[in-house]
């Protein structure tokens, strides 16, 4: 097996690269310095020369609020870039593992979303990621689409780092309590991504750490684990307006993992404790 990993310097890509190294798998990790995925000719040439058996596509535009004003750039990277990767994968008979998001859903469901639930994004980032999914399915017959949510990892910024930083100078913070989902540790996610990439069980999967919480409950757990005296005030989405709308229900069903014999990830609280212990 020979794997090409895009976005290798990102939060998730860093941990995927480390996992592939631990497994002794032949892979090449690249980032924007090595390849501009929005350049169709460059992508086709690069992938044709390397000829991977699987491409793990972690490269993406992920600034959710900024995407509302940088729409063209977000589309260019998440849609056009993914199209280029998918086309080149098809031309070289490579499978493609595409990282997507809970934000492809509108959050109006009362139950966790299944992999075949209707996609109806309510922000531009989610829209571009959904269009990326469509591009993968259009160009390839063998692919993996992995939707995940609320990522945190050692590399780059995340919600946990932000909360701890705020707690250094504030006695209390206000955090949204009516958006529910699953915090996901990139180290745990990387393990399962590599397992899926090595399989022939193509299709769509929802992969997050187990359990659900709100952002406010996550913030409270962070303070508890770190013994920070900072009080967390629970507020509504309407009390904390942002440029991009967020789905209130980001809960994802893991039925597809169960049906295909993949192990679920550990509980989010366990993941959070391991992350903070580092």
d(CA 225, CA 97): 34
Closest by alpha carbon to 212, among 263, 242, 187, 248? Answer: 248
Q: Are 114 and 251 in contact (CB under 8 A)?
A: no
- 98, 113, 125, 143: the catalytic one is 125
Residue 75 is a catalytic residue? no
Burial code (b: 16+ CB inside 10 Å, e: under 16) for 233-270 equals ebbebeeeeeebbbbbbbbbbbebbeeeebeebeebbe
In sequence order, the 6+-apart residues with CB closer than 8 A to the CB of 141 are none
Q: Which residues are catalytic?
A: 125
């Amino acid at each position: 097996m020979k794997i090409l990993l895009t976005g290798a310097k990102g939060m998730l890509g860093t941990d995927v690269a480390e996992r592939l190294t631990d497994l002794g798998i032949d892979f090449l990790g690249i980032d924007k310095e090595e390849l501009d995925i929005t350049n169709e000719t460059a992508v086709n040439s690069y992938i044709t020369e390397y000829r991977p058996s699987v491409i793990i596509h972690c490269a993406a535009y992920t600034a959710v609020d900024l995407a509302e004003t940088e729409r063209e750039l977000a589309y260019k990277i998440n849609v056009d870039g993914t199209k280029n990767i998918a086309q080149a994968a098809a031309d070289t008979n490579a499978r493609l593992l595409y990282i997507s998001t809970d934000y492809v859903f509108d959050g109006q469901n009362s139950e966790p979303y299944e992999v075949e639930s209707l996609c109806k994004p309510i922000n531009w980032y989610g829209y571009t990621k959904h269009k990326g999914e469509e591009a993968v399915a259009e160009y390839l017959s063998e692919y993996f689409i992995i939707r995940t949510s609320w990522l945190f990892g050692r590399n780059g910024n995340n919600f946990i780092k932000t909360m701890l930083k705020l707690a250094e100078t504030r006695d209390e913070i206000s955090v949204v309590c009516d958006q529910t989902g699953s915090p996901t540790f990139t180290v745990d996610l990387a393990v399962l991504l590599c397992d899926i990439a090595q399989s022939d069980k193509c299709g769509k999967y929802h992969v997050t750490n187990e359990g659900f919480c709100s952002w406010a409950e996550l913030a409270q757990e962070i303070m508890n684990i770190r013994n920070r005296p900072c009080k967390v005030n629970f507020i509504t989405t309407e009390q904390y307006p942002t440029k991009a709308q967020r789905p209130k229900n980001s809960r994802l069903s893991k039925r597809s993992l169960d049906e295909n014999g993949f192990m679920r990830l550990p509980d989010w609280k366990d993941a959070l404790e391991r992350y903070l212990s580092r």
